[in-house]
Amino acid sequence: MASVGDFDSKRDLNSLRFSYQHHARKLLSNLNETRKIPDLCDAYITIDGTCIPVQKSVLSAASQYLRALFSYNKNQQQHDGKMCINLDSLNVGAKTFERILDYIYTAQVLLEPENIQDLLQAADLLLLTDLKDTCCEFLQGCISPHNCIGIREFTARLSCPWIHLRVTQYLDEHFREATYSEEFLRLPADEVHALLIRDTIQVRVEEDVMDSIIRWYRWDMVSRKAQMSWLLNKCIRVGFLSDQAISRLRQDDANPDALEEVAQVLDALRQDPRQDRRRGLQQVLVVCGGEGQAVESQEEIEAKATTRCVRINKSQSSPNCVWIDLAPMLTPRTGHCVVEVGGFLYAVGGRDQHCRILNTGEKYNPNTNTWTAIAPMEHGRVGFGLVAIDDSIYALGGSNDMTDPLTSMEVYNVFTNKWRPLPDMVLKRVWSAFAAADKKIYVIAGGIVGKFYEAVECFDTRTESWLSVSPLRERRCDARAVAVENDIYVFGGFRHIECPGAVQSGHSLKFCGTEVYMSKNDYWVSVQNRHGAPGLCIMNERSHICGAVYDGEDVLVVGELDVGNSVHCVRAFNRHTNTWQCLVQNLPTHQQRYQCCLLSIPLAVLAELYPRREDAASTK
């Protein structure tokens, strides 16, 4: 029997409106029982020699493809006086279709490496979007060096762009291991060529590429002799090939005559300067936009379109690093937000040099060092949040008139180039901190005129619903947050002097300390410095945090960080030892209040942008 807690009700003077929370689930469960009774089914589907009784209304509600078949195929063959649809043309097995039916009626499906490709293909053909997304998420966890080439081809064929992009990145990172797989060795020459000519594959030395071609040739030496020579000539960047590698090629016993001929060609190619284009990616810290001195007047402050990057090197002895200018944004922006998705940088919103609040956005392509415009948001926003989860970018809150905060939220798909609205936030506030963990978005602190908050809201992107979680220990505004696995670190921000624990110095606002949210237990903990060890910075008005990013090892806090005797730009926090280290001391010139994120840029592009530092950029 249902309990009272299972019902929601709303009573007016003469009526009562109620809803039973489990009604839909129970109805679906009962329909699942009735589909096993042929008299209660009104159609048949024949597939792979099996005749399956079905209910047209349920299948039509689940699949637009099946709805079209049932609605517009009135002259289909009959079985026991009922419509009979043949799905053999889909090449979906009866067992796979039975699993699809179980999912439609129960919302449950068992995904395994053995069945994932069949289920994904069936979900794609039947237009079962939710199931397809679930399969793609599972498939991403199955990627390994021995199957990544096949998954890459499979996801391209089924139009799964996000997984295709992720598996391509995985292949680039694990290129050497992948070339030992049977999938690579069975590829035709043109597909091997397409893989090996790319700038983004990451190898220790160019010999790794040469060795992969020799392995591919050994798989079928009879038919691949001419193709092997062509691949070595077209794919090897001879400028990075050592004398020892070419000598070893001459001594290979696979086919001495053929390899000697190739070695002579490679020797000749070493004189061609085009052979010096580097392979691989370099992770850098990118800063873009913000404010700074106007070019024409040193007394004026203007919004900036400037974009720069710096390589983070934790082992170098000097924290004075070289900032490299990238292509500027199409529009000067300050108060904007940036995120990285799929190897591209997205900058959205903010205000321009004329103080207009922007709804526009743009995308930076590190492979070409160019910006292009993307679809505009529904609302202009400043002081808002921008977070990325998979191939979606979420814009939350902020203000579009510099006074009244927004509660609206919208999401952008990087492949469709479209925004759509989502449920509003509960609390009106600007200059909050934002982070995403476990496919949930956290909106942390912030404020309105005259009031700061410690409240934290959480948006679950899977259910598209909001809920409240434990508040911060210390209210604040204009802080920065970053997810580290499933925990969230919050740095800086400002608070009123009246807040508990404030450092008194005669000013009304003070710099806030660091807190970490343990999502598993739903509570916040203040992060204290080790006894006697230097912390993030001095808690005064000279310090300002522009951003916080996680590089897989440490949290990098970026901004203008006053440490007493100097101001640092990037400081790294090691959460295991609870210690801080200066990584970049020198600030970007004439650029403050910028936004930042980590991005991987091809070494070939960096070498072109700063050719005199080419060797240093590749070895530091």
The verdict on 72 and 135 lying in the same domain is yes
257 and 347 belong to one structural domain: no
What is the reported pTM? Answer: 0.89
The residue from 216, 241, 276 where one domain ends is 276
Does one domain contain both 33 and 80?
yes
Based on the fold, state whether residues 321 and 368 are members of the same structural domain.
yes
Q: Is residue 33 part of a domain?
A: yes
Count how many domains the chain has: 3
CA 501 to chain centre: 37
Which CATH number belongs to the domain containing residue 39 in this structure?
A: 3.30.710.10
Cα angle vertex 419, ends 414, 424, to 5°? 125
Answer yes or no: do 557 and 577 share one domain: yes
For 150-182, how does the pLDDT look when each residue is reduced to its tens digit (9 = 90+)?
999 999 999 899 999 999 999 999 999 999 999
| Dihedral of alpha carbons 497, 498, 503, 506, sign | positive
Question: What angle do the packed helices 189-196 and 207-219 form, to 10 degrees?
Answer: 170
Q: Identify whether residues 286 and 223 lie together within a single domain.
A: no
CA–CA distance, 97 with 52 (Å, rounded to integer):
10
Q: By CB neighbour count within 10 A (0-12 exposed, 13-18 middle, 19+ buried), where does 315 fall? A: exposed
Is position 86 within any domain?
Answer: yes
Is 456 inside a domain boundary?
yes
153 part of a folded domain: no
Instruction: For residues 108 and 72, state if they share a domain.
Output: yes
151 within domain boundaries: no
CATH number of the CATH domain containing 231: 1.25.40.420
Which class for 577: exposed (0-12), middle (13-18), buried (19 or more C-beta within 10 A)? exposed
- Looking at residue 253, its pLDDT comes to 62
Pick from 292, 295, 287, 294: nearest CA to 324: 287
Mean pLDDT, contiguous 10-residue spans, the chain (620 residues): 53 69 84 88 89 92 92 73 87 93 93 94 94 94 96 94 96 96 97 95 92 92 87 86 76 64 67 73 97 77 95 81 95 97 97 94 98 97 96 95 86 98 94 96 92 94 94 94 96 77 54 92 89 76 91 95 91 92 93 96 91 44
Residue 315 forms part of a structural domain: yes
Number of Cβ within a 10 Å radius of residue 397:
26
Do 380 and 493 belong to one domain? Answer: yes
| Shared domain check, 525 and 426 | yes
In 3D space, the residue among 612, 557, 560 whose CA is nearest the CA of residue 590 turns out to be 560
Residues 321 and 388 both lie in one domain: yes
Asked if residue 178 belongs to a domain, the reply is no
CATH number, position 436: 2.120.10.80
Q: Tell me what pLDDT residue 229 has.
A: 82
9 domain-assigned: no
- Of 142, 170, 199, which marks where a domain is finished? 142
- Residue at which a domain ends, from 276, 296, 313: 276
- How confident is the model at residue 543, as a pLDDT? 87
pLDDT in tens, 191-219: 999 999 999 999 989 999 999 998 999 89
The DSSP bridge partners found for residue 18 are 9
- Whether residue 462 sits in one domain with residue 579: yes
CA distance linking residue 476 with residue 528, whole number of Å = 18
Residues 270 and 306 grouped into a single domain: no
Q: Which two tokens mark 489?
A: 């670190």
Q: Is 330 helix (H, G, I), strand (E, B) or coil?
A: coil
Domain span at 541: 281-619
